[in-house]
A and B are shown apart, each in its own frame.
Chain A
Amino acid sequence: MAQLIAAQQVLENTWTEQPLEEDGNAGPFVAPSTPTLYPLAFWRAHREAIIASAQAGALPLGLLLQPDDAVEEIAADLPHLALIAINFPKFVDGRGYSSAALLRQRYGYHGELRAVGDVLHDQLFYLRRVGFDSYALKDGKSTAYAIAHGFTTFTEPYQASTDQPLPHFRRQP
């Protein structure tokens, strides 16, 4: 995974991604020894086994969502999840912003929410606002510059979002 930023610092990624078969289907489940991110197709196929195995091994559980994965489908699973990674295949594909907003605002997800894929400096501000709290910045981009400038582009936004539940017109004295 690219360069991970969270809590204003560069962190080591400790998660492994569960691959799918070449045809996009879930292969057999093998209990992992490290924290693992499961694609939704794999989760669907092995949900019970994954949960049981994680509990047995005291390992945190994560899901990797694609832009067209419906967050409604995993709403009931959120208590099991320590990490949800949302993939941005291209940074101009904005579906992940709605997925994040729904997970945080509607379904009350409090675990780590990570933006992965084509994650660039100039989207960090919006990503943070809708509820992401870790960011796999694309390789070759400056993490130092991102930490220093990427999250503070605008001090006071107009709208409510995950980071600010009230629109500005309700925050005025």
Chain B
Amino acid sequence: MYRYNELDSQLVNQRVAQFRDQVRRWQAGELSDDEFRPLRLQNGLYIQRHAPMFRVAVPYGTLNSEQLRRLAHIGRTYDRGYGHFTTRHNLQFNWPKIEDVPDILAELAEVQLHAIQTSGNCIRNITTDAFAGVAADEIIDPRPLAEILRQWSTFHPEFAFLPRKFKFAISGTAEDRAITWFHDIGLQLKVVNGETGFTVIVGGGLGRTPIRGEVVREFLPWQHLLTYSTAILRVYNRFGRRDNAYKARIKILVQALGIEAFRAQVDAEWAHEKDSPHTITQAEYDRIAAHFAPPAYAPAEPANFPDDPAFARWRARCTHPHKVPGYTAVTLSLKRHGVAPGDITSDQMDVVADLADRYSFGELRVSHEQNVILTDVRECDLHALWLSARDAGLATPNIGLLTSIICCPGGDFCDLANAKSIPIANAIQQRFDDLDYLFDIGEIDLNISGCMNACSHHHVGHIGVLGVDRKDKEFYQVTLGGRQGNDAQLGKVIGPAFPAEEMPEVVEQIISVYLAERHADERFLDTFDRIGIDPFKNKVYAGRAHGRSKSQEAA
């Protein structure tokens, strides 16, 4: 993984000093709340429902064991002994004190971590495939270019006060696992006629106005990544709307202009920027890429797995194909039933750090599905690893299954939320607690967002759940058929929203339609695509007062 040089360390250390000074001036009344807000947000610090919330960047999802132990320590020392992995390669602490944050930042800087631009209207953390570098279907490792983008976007003087937040995702695999169709800029690495470059997608996003991005450039050679990004960002910074925060994302500008006119503006801007000094040199690429050289893999050894159904189940769900024979990538599930999805205790972080040291070259990843991944595990070590992970509550064999729910903090923590999300996730997990049943249902993505900001990407869940507030009561709107990947698309709304207590039953009814209708070998999504939304709608609303009439009854 990338290790800081002197320059990187100096920048992060100077950031700590800067923020310490900003906190001091805010406390002294020299900075007003309004003046301080954007500054703290660009350091990942929110003021939330119960306490501040503090968001640490995990750049493109890569961490090492030393960093994770430090996060564990921070959780214990400054918080309540746990953290929460988000859907964008960040770790959030829910209970820090504002006055401690400069010290936390200093502790992070010592292990080459930071909270730079994890919030605010600026270029955010760059996300990618959690299996980057090891995935069997990888074309190009996206991490070096993600790091080059990280450096370029860090403290970019022209783009620190954009109309709204700006998110990049990069995918380097045959199957997109980075949701590139739904980011402000989505980059799909490819090789065309022996040349490496990107398809550049722009103007995608979820949130209040979900829009699938559009291809602004079919093929951009990699050397031009920064100059072309400059052109897009400059057009956005100058012409993106600033009169209404809900219409300020680049997707609104792209839609208003149309992709042709937007492309023309970007190309006109790029004509000036192309071949400028920001053109990436081979030397720079090589310097960064050297940090991501493969570890010293051992020759494959036969793995003799014990005849243990629980282990077999875990291996079926939680291991993933690796490009090196004899190795596999392992997902440690943070979707244990009854726990907030993505939450990890400090003790668990220490266990994961030990497992990473023992079995995976001391490195790990976090996925946008809010799990932890050990990317380089020998198959012959799998059973021993599983035993340790199981003891730590990190081996729930539900990856890709209904209960590995992607879920935002929701109304329990987040100020923006309209409704709670964690209790809904836990209630559904409880309803589907039988592993045989869960395995029989098979692969299905369930995403729950507590508001239309869509932090848990509910629009691309096979089943998406959105919390809405109606007359001060929490209701949940359900969408079906959304998906990530190459054919990413938005789910369709099934109908009026449901009260919280009905959600487990609603999900069960949806599943029952699938189980009754499916052909052999059909996943939920296949059946949905074949039969459409109506059979699900009919089943769910049969004999049920619709959400609206129900809320009128209640009112």
User: A168 within 8 Å of B by Cβ?
Assistant: yes
Q: In the complex, are the beta carbons of B11 and A154 less than 8 A apart? A: yes
A153 touches B35 (CB 8 A): no
What is the bound-complex CA distance between A99 and B239, given in angstroms? 12
| Interface residue A106 (Cβ < 8 Å from any Cβ of B) | yes
Cβ contact within 8 Å between B281 and A142: no
Q: How far is the CB of A58 from chain B (nearest CB, A)?
A: 35
B176, chain A: closest CB distance, angstroms: 28
Residue B277 is within 8 A (CB to CB) of chain A in the complex? yes
**Are A160 and B277 in contact, CB atoms less than 8 angstroms apart?**
yes
Decide: A98 and B238 in contact? CB cutoff 8 A: yes
A154-173: contact bitstring with B at CB < 8 Å (1 yes, 0 no)?
A: 11111111000111111000
- The answer to whether A101 has its CB under 8 Å from any CB of chain B is yes
Look across to chain A and name the residue whose beta carbon is closest to the beta carbon of B120.
Answer: A92
Contacts of B234 in A (CB 8 A): 98, 101
For the complex formed, measure the closest distance between the CB of B157 and the CB atoms of chain A, giving whole angstroms. 4
**What separation, in Å, do the CA atoms of A63 and B44 have in the docked complex?**
38
Tell me the complex Cα distance, A159–B278, Å.
8
Cβ of A155: which chain B residues have Cβ within 8 Å of it? Answer: 10, 14
B35 touches A120 (CB 8 A): yes
Q: Which residue of A lies closest to B15 (CB)?
A: A154
Knowing A94-B160, A167-B277, A170-B277, say if A159 contacts B152 (CB, 8 Å): yes
Contacts of A17 in B (CB 8 A): none
Across the interface, B161 reaches (CB within 8 A) one of A97, A154, A167, namely A97
Assess the B157–A97 pair: CB atoms within 8 A.
yes
Q: B115 to chain A: closest CB distance in Å?
A: 16
* Stretch touching chain B among A1-9, A18-26, A73-81, A122-130: A122-130
Q: Known contacts A98-B237, A120-B35, A153-B14; is A158 also within 8 Å of B161 by CB? A: no
- Over the window 319-346 of chain B, the binary record of Cβ atoms lying under 8 Å from chain A Cβ atoms (1 yes, 0 no) is 0000000000000000000000000000
CB atoms of B157 and A130 under 8 A apart: yes
- Determine how close the nearest CB of chain A comes to the CB of B318; give it in whole angstroms: 38
Residues B237 and A94 in contact, CB atoms below 8 Å apart: yes
A95 within 8 A of B: yes
Tell me whether A97 and B155 are in contact (CB under 8 A). Answer: no
A125 and B42 alpha carbons, distance in the complex (Å): 15
With A and B bound together, what is the CA distance between A167 and B230 in angstroms? 13
A44 CB-CB contact with B under 8 Å: no
Q: Which of B160, B242, B280 contacts A97 (CB 8 A)?
A: B160
Taking a contact as CB atoms under 8 Å apart, the answer to whether A149 and B21 are in contact is yes
Digit string of A42-58 for contact with B (CB within 8 Å is 1, else 0)?
00000000000000000
Query: SS class of chain B's interface: helix, strand, loop or mixed?
Result: helix
CA distance in complex: A46, B30 (Å):
42
Contacting residues of chain A (89-143) with chain B, CB-CB under 8 angstroms: 91-95, 97-99, 101, 106, 120-123, 125-127, 129-130, 141-142
Cβ of B39 and Cβ of A122 under 8 Å apart? yes
Pick from B35, B121, B157 the residue with the most CB of A within 10 Å.
Answer: B157
Of residues 148 through 191 on chain B, the ones whose CB sits less than 8 Å from some CB of chain A are 151-152, 154-162
**Cβ of B18: which chain A residues have Cβ within 8 Å of it?**
153-154
B284 contacts partner chain A, Cβ-Cβ < 8 Å: yes
Answer yes or no: B496 CB below 8 A from chain A CBs.
Answer: no
Would you call B158 and A130 a contact (CB within 8 A)? Answer: yes
Q: Which residue of B lies closest to A161 (CB)?
A: B157
Q: Could you say which of B237, B281, B287 contacts A95, with CB atoms under 8 Å apart?
A: B237
Q: A168 with B7: in contact, given A98-B238, A159-B152, A160-B277 (CB under 8 Å)?
A: yes
A112 to B298, CA, bound (A): 63
CB-based contact A158/B237 at 8 Å = no
Residues of B that sit less than 8 Å from A by CB: 7, 10-11, 14-15, 18, 21-22, 25, 30-31, 35, 38-39, 121, 151-152, 154-162, 226, 234, 237-238, 242, 272, 276-278, 280-281, 283-284, 287
**What 5 A-B pairs have minimum CB-CB distances, sorted nearest first?**
A94-B161, A129-B157, A169-B284, A126-B157, A158-B151
> Would you give 27 A-B contacts (Cβ < 8 Å), ordered by A?
A91-B38, A93-B242, A94-B158, A94-B159, A95-B242, A97-B157, A97-B158, A97-B160, A97-B161, A98-B158, A98-B234, A99-B238, A122-B22, A122-B35, A125-B157, A127-B157, A130-B157, A142-B30, A149-B21, A153-B18, A154-B15, A155-B10, A155-B14, A156-B7, A160-B277, A167-B152, A170-B277
A-to-B contact residues, CB < 8 Å: 91-95, 97-99, 101, 106, 120-123, 125-127, 129-130, 141-142, 149, 153-161, 165-170
Other than the given A95-B238, A170-B281, 15 more pairs (CB < 8 A) read A94-B162, A95-B242, A97-B159, A97-B160, A125-B157, A126-B157, A154-B18, A156-B10, A158-B152, A159-B152, A159-B156, A161-B157, A165-B277, A167-B277, A170-B277
